[in-house]
Structure 1
Amino acid sequence: MSTSAMHVAKTGLNAQQSRIQVISNNLANVNTTGFKRDRANFESLLYQSFRPAGAQTSETTVLTAGSEIGTGVRMVNTEKIFQQGNLMTTDNAMDIAIDGDGFFQVLLPDGQMGYTRNGTFGRNADGLLTTASGYAVQPEIIIPDNAMEVNVSKDGIVSVLQSGDVAPQEIGQLTLARFINPRGLTPIGENFSVETQASGPAVVAEPMSEGTGSLMQGALEASNVNVVQELVEMIEAQRAYEVNSKSISATDEMMRFLSNKL
């Protein structure tokens, strides 16, 4: 029984260690544009049943509550919390924020379609609209060399004012992707996530249609990490880790006492 108690406490230590790692990653990305905080979810392990509820205690009575002892805890998954982050004004025409639901679509070097909330865009030597890493935004939009002004409307229409023109000229349309279960997306780093069977297929639509949010030019979406909340959860996890460690120490002392006295 004592070794079982140590095992249970060990699962608690592992669980709190995983939780601390999730919290640390949230805090590390507090200034990452478009980052969505993660939350660790836990579940209890199997129970050892010695006498089930309803077992016969006499000819006319049954046990009202069973005798079960848990075997510990484990982390079942981590999930993204897609709460809207604050919109920060940058006054940079290439910065675009999403106000509402949806993801920008970016073609990754391996051919996969990446989805991100980070709208820190620029243009390469060919005028192609890209991310800060140089990956092409989809659908592709080419900004002319002589463009004096770039405008992006709330519904994603991209227009430019070229030298010598009086009126802006439309050059493309930005679209957003939605998912039935965005928490099923797999994060792969660089602020990108990729589609999975759990997320369902991407539903691509123009901004402000089919449930997608609107675009805001000259702004970026800040991380939705709340530093105070994360610090409180870190202290809570630290205390829980200490308690589980004390459980192991207490069990070890009990076993030492038995070995010395018997």
Structure 2
Amino acid sequence: MELLDHKLKVAPTSALVLLQTRSLYDSGIAGQYYDLLDFGDVRELSSGIQGAWPHFSTVVLYRKRFIRHLLETYLQDGKPVQVCILGAGLDPISLWLLEHHRQAISRIYEVDAVHMPVKSSLYARLLPGEPALHFIQADITDTLHLLDKLRDAGYSTEQPALVIFEGIIHYIPDELFLNTMQAFRTPNKTNVVLMDYLLPEHKVPAAERPVLRDLMARMENFIGGKMYPYERREIFRLVELLHGDVAGVDSLQDIEFKLNGRNELFYEDGEGFLEMIAFYL
């Protein structure tokens, strides 16, 4: 099959998020990439979640925009760094990085258990001959082999890396998170991890809890598994167990203010069910 002549049907978990963030990639190479994707199988679920929680798309957009904000913060030191995207799926953040921050990046490693051969083929056609891009098909929780596969692709444990761990931790228990992050520990804490986490029910305003319960039930039914929320002190404990240092943590109201210069939707702790953190490792 000629991939550029057919829409690529996107796996539902990837499609659910990608569908909400189409507006971030409405031009350039990433816009061309989106035009190759078929979101048909997930539109009904997306509409259902949006109906139950009208802020769903906004929160996903804020998460994506804040990852960009954090990347721009940590890509200003002058010396090119490695970028490692764990659970990369079909998200085109690499295309955005290469379009806007090419000189700040030495190499990009996209890692996922699925999609990587197809994504590599699509990227090679859209951005032929780009030496920075490396695609690794691997289970990110298979820590016996993850670091070896990264090294085989050229990843250096001696050079600083930005590790993007977006939209993942709420699908795995804390022991798998710890095992995965062990691969990125450095003696001088020169790596930076950027990630989000979903808050537990008792950390959101009482009026919002039925919405969170409904959202969690929909997602667990959708993925056929359990979701793992974390409160801030639990995330801090995990970072401490990794001997890392927290660089910054932001509630959704913090994120909205930093992105927009004002708050229009989120004012209370726990609103939006999401927080984001950057930590040195």
- TM class by shorter chain equals under 0.3
TM-score (norm 1): 0.21
Q: Which has the higher contact order (CA 8 A, sep 6+)?
A: 1
Q: Which has the larger radius of gyration?
A: 1
* The structure with more strand, counted as a fraction of residues: 1
